[in-house]
A and B are shown apart, each in its own frame.
Chain A
Amino acid sequence: MTYPPGNPYGQPQGNPYGGQPQPYGQPQPYGQPQPYGQPQGNPYGGQPHGQPQPPYGGQPHGGPPQPPYGGQPPQPVPGGAPSGVPSTLDPHTLPDDDNVNPYVFCIALNGEWFMSKGAMLAYYGTIQFDAVTEYSSVQAWVASRFSSPVYIQDWVVAQGHGKLLIGDRGFDLNSYDLDDGNLTIKASNLCAFSRQLELKQSIVPGFVTLIGTGKFIASSNGPVIFVEPPFRADPDALLGWADCPAPSVHHDAQWMTQNVRGMISGALGRASGEERQYDFTGQGTILLQSSEVAREDPAVLRLVESQTQLLTNSQAGALGQRLIARAQQQ
């Protein structure tokens, strides 16, 4: 079942509360159907990308309708019937691999999917959740697909048959099709991906890279914005990027020198956070979310900790003292 525009929440049938199913405004796909960059040489395997096709299906699949909050005045419901009542959903009326509403995605599970811990809202059928750590020792394909020791604790393998509903903090969910490509995404915003995809840890901390052909589901706080490089992004608003060969950290010297306070804190080695930006050059697409609210990612601690191996013992001691001082300040 697809996600036809004009009928956002499935069939308006069998309404249990006798009211009118009131769709959340008109479905509006995110922006323009913008292919992720140009087809270009494939860095994995040397072969060109083939036909000039939109490598990832072009845009978020079944782009959920955006509730135009404030845009459309609430419609008075004739007859005083309750509004906003959802229609009943059952295993047959739930969509296959599509959005139920902007915040919930339904996976028609038949086999295995990788899932972020705690993303499950509900399911029909027989589905078992196993930690990736246990799974990888039993089945070799899991270990070969999931090559990130830092994130392995936060993921499970959902296995079985049925309809699986997932959500993430009430954020907007979108599914993306990856066609022999690569996409790097903020680890805390990745909800699920199909077993055909390969997950690797990105060099940029807090991000993971998906490689191959398959489907994945990611959340965003607000609609996703697609931008083409050259572009500089705030690290908190950055959701991910596709095909960009060179993300680099940019320190905005102007920000630091344009006011006295910035200069002082810059000289002391402190940072306000705003001068640090990610700089993207080359071909590709950058994904942004419209909010800077970040979730605490437990993997970042493990990631930074593993990096401290680079330090000598005396350096590690100095860092430890600085961290203690910082913790006591707060």
Chain B
Amino acid sequence: MALLTAHRRVLHADLQGDRIRAASGSMVAVEGNVDFKSSGMGGGGGMRAALKRAVAGESLSLMDCAGHGRVYLALDAMDVLVVDLTGDTLTVESEHILAHTEQLRLDVQFAGLRGMTSGQGLATTTVTGHGQVAIVSEGPVMALEVAPGADLVVDPDAYVGSRGQLSMNLVSGVSWKSVVGEGTGEPFSLRFTGSGLVLVQSAER
């Protein structure tokens, strides 16, 4: 089975005759005998996913890497984090996906208002199944725990993804006094309630 290993800013993908999907153009080096081909529309998720993505404005361009050997993947010198999924779902911004193993399924989830403020499209990507997904971030990712009584508010520009039973609301950090005059610079934030983990990067986009 293909194995993804993060080495600071480079992802090592060891292939043993199987395939992974990786962000187009992220290959920096390859050892062994590996074939690359475009996954086509929708990042390999089929026609329906492609359609949904087109509607949602969520862009994701993936390529298939198959064969025997090791592929080195990197994106804009961003930090790499590998997440193991065992049947659960990870919600992640599509621009943060570097690679995932074949068994995982990517889908589009409509995120409503949030996308309108952060300019990242109306939708977010969910990753479901058993396998590994590699995500990239500006600076190391912090996994912040959300529990009942410990709500978390995140800057939309620093938000990378989340996992668990969470509900996301758009909150306005602007008090009534700010409506007149200049804003506070944090006009909208995401408030997470429930229980789960929120992945936050250390720089704003």
A residues whose Cβ falls under 8 Å from a Cβ of B: 16-19, 24, 67, 69, 74, 77, 80, 82-91, 100-101, 103-104, 117-118, 120-124, 127-131, 133-134, 153-154, 156, 165, 167-170
Contacts and interface: CB of A to CB of B under 8 A. Distances in A.
* Interface-central residue, B7, B150, B185, by most chain A CB under 10 Å: B185
Interface of B: 3-8, 79-84, 132, 138-145, 147, 150-155, 158, 163, 173, 175, 177-178, 181-186, 197-198, 200-204
B186 A103 contact: no
A156 B139 contact: no
A170 B143 contact: no
A128 B176 CA distance: 11
5 contacts: A24-B8, A83-B6, A90-B145, A120-B186, A156-B186
A124 B147 CA distance: 11
Nearest to B80: A84
Contacts of B182: 131, 133, 153
Contacts of A101: 139-140, 142, 202
B6 A84 contact: yes
Contacts of A153: 182
Contact of B143 (A82, A87, A117, A121): A87
Contacts of A117: 184-186
A86 B7 CA distance: 13
Contacts of A131: 177-178, 181-184
Contacts of B147: 90
Contacts of B154: 121-122
Contacts of B183: 131
Contact of B181 (A89, A100, A123, A133): A133
Given A85-B82, A122-B153, 14 more contacts: A24-B8, A80-B3, A90-B144, A117-B186, A120-B155, A121-B158, A121-B200, A121-B202, A129-B184, A130-B177, A131-B182, A133-B182, A167-B158, A167-B204
Contacts, number: 147
Nearest to B138: A170
A74 B152 CA distance: 33
A124 B151 contact: yes
Which of A16, A17, A121, A130 counts the most chain B CB atoms within 10 A?
A: A121
A82 B139 contact: no
A19 B163 contact: no
Contacts of A123: 152-153
A89 B143 contact: yes
A16 B178 contact: no
A156 B179 CA distance: 14
Nearest to A167: B202
A167 B141 CA distance: 12
Contacts of A84: 6-8, 79-82, 140
A19 B83 CA distance: 9
A69 B153 CA distance: 32
B143 A88 contact: yes
Contacts of B80: 84
A69 B5 CA distance: 18
Contacts of B4: 82
A127 B155 CA distance: 13
Contacts of B204: 118, 121, 167, 169
Contacts of B7: 74, 83-84
Contact of B178 (A87, A103, A122, A134): A134
B184 A130 contact: yes
Nearest to B144: A89
A88 B140 contact: no
B142 to A, nearest CB: 6
A82 B8 contact: no
Contacts of B158: 121-122, 167
Nearest to B192: A122
A82 B142 contact: no
Nearest to A67: B8
